[in-house]
A and B are shown apart, each in its own frame.
Chain A
Amino acid sequence: GQSLEQPSEVTAVEGAIVQINCTYQTSGFYGLSWYQQHDGGAPTFLSYNALDGLEETGRFSSFLSRSDSYGYLLLQELQMKDSASYFCAVLSNSNSGYALNFGKGTSLLVTP
């Protein structure tokens, strides 16, 4: 089976840096995606890591360690609009093909 673990809630101050961790157990692992979802909104794709290391996209960076089955999303220079839920999602391949399996999500609250 598959399992993903990420913190349920994180609170941080505007302008700060926050890291959201994700650990996973899965077979047929291909990569780790991150999605952002504001309340009442649609999930939107943030990043994808297939190889070990850090990927940077503006204020957001994502890291993967395949040997540790671990990744994180790093948000810098936090803004109020970053308050949202963040989901890590494992891309894996099975007999029925590629599938994206979402973690339970981390609710990020950015305070003034």
Chain B
Amino acid sequence: DTEVTQTPKHLVMGMTNKKSLKCEQHMGHRAMYWYKQKAKKPPELMFVYSYEKLSINESVPSRFSPECPNSSLLNLHLHALQPEDSALYLCASSHGRDLNYEQYFGPGTRLTVT
């Protein structure tokens, strides 16, 4: 299994809602990532988990809260988002945190904040 899955595929939420994005991989990878991608832009790193521990938080606003319940799952909890947070949210994984030049990306969740 070389697949990273993400749910939901699409999400529309109001600025007062609370929602969660889910990511799963069964490749035995020990590093997992959240990226944000705006249209026609590159992926921007948000968070990195290594062995289920948060190792990088790229100054992301607190309205985004990551969680790594186990080595296969990664969640992104959303609360009080702004319209400018509308984007494609990509999850990725790699064998390890070091030399992570080959990352496997999920199909993403397209988020619209109204």
Number of interface residues of A (CB under 8 A): 24
CB neighbours of B40 from chain A (8 A): 105, 107
Are A98 and B105 closer than 8 Å at their CB atoms? no
* Contact partner, A98, options B90, B100, B106, B107, Cβ 8 Å: B100
Main secondary structure of the interface of B (DSSP, over half): loop
Which listed residue, A44, A50, A102, touches B43 by the CB 8 Å rule? A102
A22 to chain B minimum Cβ distance, whole angstroms, is: 12
With A97-B56, A102-B43 as contacts: A45 and B102 at CB distance below 8 Å = yes
Q: Give chain A's interface secondary structure class.
A: strand
Interface assignment of B69: CB less than 8 Å from any CB of chain A: no
Q: Roughly how many angstroms separate A103 CA and B44 CA in the complex, as a whole number?
A: 10
Residues of B within 8 A of A83 (CB): none
Which of A45, A98, A102 counts the most B-chain CB atoms under 10 A from its CB? A98
- Give Cα distance in the complex from A45 to B92, angstroms: 11
Q: Contact: A33 with B107, CB < 8 Å?
A: no
**A50 CB contacts on chain B under 8 angstroms:** 101
Given contact pairs A33-B101, A98-B99, enumerate 7 new A-B contacts (beta carbons under 8 Å): A42-B107, A43-B90, A45-B101, A48-B102, A50-B101, A89-B101, A98-B98
| Complex A-B: 29 CB contacts under 8 Å | A30-B99, A31-B99, A31-B101, A33-B102, A41-B107, A42-B106, A42-B108, A43-B103, A43-B105, A44-B105, A45-B101, A45-B102, A48-B101, A87-B43, A91-B99, A91-B101, A96-B56, A97-B97, A97-B98, A98-B98, A98-B100, A99-B45, A99-B48, A99-B56, A102-B42, A102-B43, A105-B40, A105-B42, A107-B40
